[in-house]
Each structure stands twice: as structure tokens, then as C-alpha cells.
Structure 1
Amino acid sequence: MNRSVTWTVYRKELTELLRDRRTLISMVLLPMVVFPLLFGVVGRFMGEAEKKAATEATTVAIVAGSIPEVFLAPIAKSGLQRVEVPDVASAVANKTAATGLSVSADQKSLTIYAEGTRQASGMAADKLRSALSEYRDSLVVEKLREVKLDASVLTPFTVKRENVASERKMGGFMLGSILGYVVILLMFSGGMYPAIDMTAGEKERKTIETLLASPARRTDIVLAKILACVTATYLTAVLTTTSLFLSLKRGGGTMKGMEKMVGNVPTDVSTIGLVLLTLLPVAVMAGALMISIALRARSFKEAQSYLTPLIMLAIFPSLLGGLPGMELSPALSLVPIFNASQLLKSILQGDVPLVSFAITNLANLSYAVLCFALAVRIFNNEKVLFRT
């Protein structure tokens, strides 16, 4: 292997990639805007949506004359305005009222109506339920006093649930569930166009013959192309990760209900370093695999049809790795993509299993070597390389 030749071809490939607008968009622009949009724009929209829902959660539908007088006071206490309608359920469904209430003839059963897809309806139903529950409890206390019993007989003991996970761990769990999916998706997307351009693209431009006619050995050429693709893929991962941690520091507090958890996710150098170290073997594997597949294509369009399903296939294990209840074990550390997604979640939670960390990275490096060997074999196949 000639290092100087490999370096020359590598620089040539990078120069051509940096001239391609599509590559720059998928490799640089998208990774830098994903998380600022998520934490900034989406967070603001969530806040605005909640404010709007609060202003709309003001009415309760009732059938005229169907609500006993004793329940009118709790309704008034909830702050909801009564709207008399012929049919409560239809009124809530048609947005005539935010929520609705009906009372059985014996006054033993109350039904609160809500439209599950509307946040305002849910908020109004919660207000009404809270007011009616408070009224019910006051009736119970009053009955107990009449028979000279203490209200504590109803609650001889209390049960509470305490989460022993720290806010940092909870925040890492929630962010880690989406980090693997987003980063891996963007990595494959960022490396796809470079892989196609350096293989099928060169076939279409008829420049691959010139490269093969040079003194460079085919192993050096394919290694340089893989390294260029890995550079694009890993740069996407670095920019995405940087965007995430910067967004956490500056805009994470805009996510409603997640301020404390998101704010406690560590953004120190060691955490970022472990994340990037985990993503490096994945980038090498992805680059080598995409070059291997794209080499078989006759045209740019055909290569796209080959690599698009690959990206879709990469989504499933990354999503699976972010699901609650999934834990990384030495055996699961051998599953590509899934292992990296799980490991990223563990890193953000501050609980890195060293054995699984080592197995994951070694496994992904092994897969990368196999993909490189496959690419070299394909590159040496004249029938594949020059088929039209």
C-alpha cells in the first residue's frame, strides 16, 4: 500500500466533494440545523400551543336542566363556563365546548367528556375532574363527622412512588432515545452522496478510466475513496453531536417540562469524546459499506436506488436501540447499528458498561474491515467496474 498515492487520491476526492452542493447540504447544513430546530423552534411551538390550549379550555357542555344544583358549585369552582347543548358528546366532538358533563339519574355516576386529540379539551376535563373530586372528598369528610369518625380512617396509610434515577440520568435516557436514530440517519445520509459521486458518478463522467490508468494500485484507490466517504460521514456525526450539545447548553430549557432533565445532561469533554469515539467505527463501517454497494451501480440514479433502502434498513436497529426496556448486553453488542444506538444512550445517562463498550467498538471495526475487503474485491472485478 502506497501512502502517498492514497493521500493524493484522497485529497482529489475531498476536493470534488466540497464542490458538490448536494454533499455540503447533507453533510454540513442538515446536521447543524436539526437540533437547534428541535430545541428552539419546536420548543417555542410547544409553549405557544400550551398557552393557546389554556385560553381555549374554558367551557363545559351540559344538557339544560340535567345537572343537579349540588354540582353547579364545583363546576363554577373549576373556572369553566357552562354551555347548554342538546347533546354533550357531540358538542365536545364538534368543539362547541372544551369538555362536557353528564350525571346519572341517581347521581351516583358522573361522566366527563373530552376529545383526546385536543390539548384544550384534556386540560378542561382535568380541571373539571379535579373540582368534582374535591367536592366528593368534602362530602365524605362531612359524612364522617356526622358519625364522629376521623377522615384518616379512609387512608390508614399512603403509598408514594419515588424515582431513584437522577435528573441527569432521566435526561440522558430521553435524549439518548432519539440521539442514536437522528445521528445515524444523518451519518448515512451525509455519506450517501459522496459514496455515489466517487463510484457511479465517476462511471457516468467517464473519469474512472483515467484514475485506473494511473500508477495507483486499485487497493490504494478504493482505500482513498472509502477514507473520503468516511470523512464525510464522520464529519456529519461530529457536526450533529456538536449541534446537539450546543443546543442543550443554550436552548434546551425551551422544551416544556424537560428543563431540569435536559439541563442536567452533561456537556463535558469526556462525554462528548465518548460519543464521538462510539460513532467513529460506525462511520468507517457505513463509508465502506456504501462504497461497496455504490460500486455495483451503473449510474448515479441506480446507486441512489441501492443506497436509499440501506438507509431505511439502518433506521430500524437505531430506533430499536432507543426503545425503553432495551439494554445493551455482550451478545447484543455484536448487532451493528443497534449496539451504537444503545451505547450512546448509556453514555448520556452516565452509565457506560465497559465490556459492552469494548465489544461494540471492536465489532463495528470488524464489520468495517469486512466491508473494506468487499469493496476491494468489487473494485478488482472488471465486469462490475465497467458494466454499462
Structure 2
Amino acid sequence: MKIIGIVFKKEILDIYRDKKTFIVGILLPLILFPIIFGFMGKGMGNDKETVTKSTTIAIVDQYNSKLKAFLESKDNIKVIDVDDIEKAVDKGKIFVAVTIPKGFDDAIKNEKSANLEIYYDSSSSKSSMALNIVSSYVKEYSKLIVTERLNARNIDTSILSPIKAFSKK
């Protein structure tokens, strides 16, 4: 153990004697890393704020479903028309595109499952954030449907949340 301590001290002294190694290996990273990560964090924060305030999406729905109306009613969702949704997502004109298939409302009305297609750009942080926002609205809409179905059967909706956790200080 004594030999390891002697070698360690010698190596540390060699690092401090060699100014170039000290500057490049220790001092430069201590200065540059906080600056780099600061800029990255600020940029991501700006992206998040932009997407949260105004999420630009396209909805392909030839049958005017209730889901389309639900999404359009949200304050931070801006729906625009585009010709080619995949190109528009790839170019960043829109963050997300939602395709609602024929028979969507009929499936919901008949108490069946319905599928949605959501296009997004996995390489874009804005598109990924918008996907999360749109997905949360789709889940909210789905919960509304479940609540309506349970109420139609006179079933208490609290059975869906058997555990309620509360935080205390």
C-alpha cells in the first residue's frame, strides 16, 4: 500500500509540473463544460417553452371526429393544413401529425378500441415534446370516454383509482 501511495504522489507531482497537461486535462474542462452545458440547457429550455405555448400539428380527419374537435379546443394546440404530413414533419413545419381513420367515432360509440397514427420526427426534440403533449391529450380524451362508458352503466369511476397517495411535509 505504501508503494501505491508513493507512485500516486509522483504521478500527481508530474501532472502539476507539466503545465500543458494541467491546463488541457484539468483547467480547460473545468471552464468549458459548464459553459457548454449551460448553452445546451438554455437551448432545450427555449424549445420546451416554444412547444408548450404553441404546439403546431396537422390533423388528417376526413370524417370530423370528436377527437379532432377535442384537440382543436386546446389552447396550446395550433392545427394547420398541410399536403404531405411526413414532409411537413421532417422539415419542421409542424411538430406532429395525427391521422384519424375512417370509423374512429363509430368504434368509440360501439365501445370498441380505435387506432390513431401519430407521425413525429424522432431526431427533433421539439417534435418529441409535441408528441408527449398530444399523447397526453389523447389519454385525457380516452379517460373521458371511459368515464362516459362507466357512467352509462352506473359504475362509480373511483374504481379506476384504487390508491390515492398524498404528500406531507
Asked if 1:122 is matched to 2:119, the reply is no
Counterpart in the other structure of 2:40: 45
Structure number with higher helix proportion: 1
Q: Gapped runs of 5+ residues in structure 1?
A: 1-13, 159-388
Q: Which amino acid aligns with 1:36?
A: I
1:353-364 superposed matches below 5 A: none
Asked if 1:154 is matched to 2:167, the reply is no
Counterpart in the other structure of 1:28: 23
Deviation at 1:66, TM superposition (A): 5.3
Mapped contact 1:78–1:128 kept (Cα < 8 A): no
Counterpart in the other structure of 1:134: 140
Which protein has the larger Cα radius of gyration, Structure 1 or Structure 2?
A: 1
2:80 counterpart SS class: strand
Deviations 1:42-63 (A, max 9, x none): 1332222331353156200223
**RMSD value, Cα:** 2.9
Alignment TM-score, normalising by the size of structure 1 = 0.32
Deviation at 1:139, TM superposition (A): 1.5
**2:89 alignment partner, one of 61, 84, 92:** 92
Q: Distance in 1 between matches of 2:92 and 2:63?
A: 21
Q: Which 4+ runs in 1 deviate beyond 4 A?
A: 155-158
Greater relative contact order: 1 or 2 (C-alpha under 8 angstroms, separation 6 or more)?
Answer: 1
Counterpart in the other structure of 1:262: none
Counterpart in the other structure of 1:220: none
Counterpart in the other structure of 1:318: none
Q: Which amino acid aligns with 2:158?
A: S
Mapped contact 1:63–1:86 kept (Cα < 8 A): no
Q: Which amino acid aligns with 2:79?
A: R
Q: Across the two proteins, how many residue pairs are aligned to each other?
A: 141
Deviations 1:97-141 (A, max 9, x none): 011101121211112221111110011111111112111101211
Counterpart in the other structure of 1:83: 80
Deviation at 1:26, TM superposition (A): 2.6
Closer, same or farther in 2 for the Cα pair 1:106/1:64, shift >3 Å?
A: closer
Q: Distance in 1 between matches of 2:143 and 2:125?
A: 27
Deviations 1:254-295 (A, max 9, x none): xxxxxxxxxxxxxxxxxxxxxxxxxxxxxxxxxxxxxxxxxx
1:84 counterpart SS class: coil
Q: Which amino acid aligns with 2:83?
A: P
Deviations 1:134-167 (A, max 9, x none): 1110121122112110113334568xxxxxxxxx
1:246-325 superposed matches below 5 A: none
Mapped contact 2:71–2:77 kept (Cα < 8 A): no
Mapped contact 1:98–1:114 kept (Cα < 8 A): yes
Q: Distance in 1 between matches of 2:135 and 2:120?
A: 11
Q: Distance in 2 between matches of 1:141 and 1:69?
A: 16
1:112 counterpart SS class: strand
